[in-house]
Structure 1
Amino acid sequence: MAIYAYRCPHCSEIDVTFPIGTAPAAIPCPDCGAASVRAFSAPMLARTPAAMSTQLQRAERSASEPEVVTSLPRRHAGGAVAAHPATSRLPRP
């Protein structure tokens, strides 16, 4: 489904959803009944980088299903985990 914009000569702009390629050239205005012609605009296309998309999906999931932390993160090859007050409450392995 795609959102198409129509402009009524008496009212304002109207957004209507139609399957792609099936939008008529004019529709009746839902408020006044006048013929509203289709207004052409730039499509809202964007490509989100994969890393950003993954983080956005993770943040969206955590709103209703937060991740439960049961242990400290693994130590990196370069040294110990940075000391942070929040990590002091975590169980020790």
Structure 2
Amino acid sequence: MVVYVYRCPCRSEIEVTFPIGTAPAAVPCPGCGATSVRAFSAPMLTRTPAALSSRLERAERSAFEPEVVTSPPRRRAGGAVVAHPATGRLPRP
């Protein structure tokens, strides 16, 4: 499925998905019902690895719907909280 962009006279842009090569020249706007014409744009040629894509989507979602922590941080055998690896190189007081 490909995402096509249509411009509505009332709203700015509408994104609609169709199978490749089957997008019509105009579609009705879901909000106002006006005829929206297809806007041509440059294709997205870069491919993002699946792991990176999922993490970016997760970070974007957490901006509006923060994830709830269900358990305390993991502890090491000695009872110390597992620290971030970068903090291990900081000087200690």
What TM-score, normalized by structure 1, do the two folds share? 0.51
Indicate the structure (1 or 2) with the bigger Cα radius of gyration. 1
Please state if 1:20 is matched with 2:16. no
Show the counterpart of 2:37.
37
Q: Distance in 2 between matches of 1:47 and 1:40?
A: 20
- SS in structure 2 opposite 1:14? strand
RMSD over aligned Cα atoms:
2.5
Structure 2: unaligned runs, 5 residues or longer: 56-87, 89-93
Distance 1:47 1:17 in 2: 19
> Corresponding residue for 2:6?
6
Q: Give matches, 1:65-76, under 5 Å.
A: none
Runs of 4+ in structure 1 off by over 2 angstroms are none
Q: Which residue of 2 aligns with 1:82?
A: none
Q: Which amino acid aligns with 1:4?
A: Y
TM-score normalised by L of structure 2: 0.51
Aligned residues: 55
**Identity value in percent:** 72
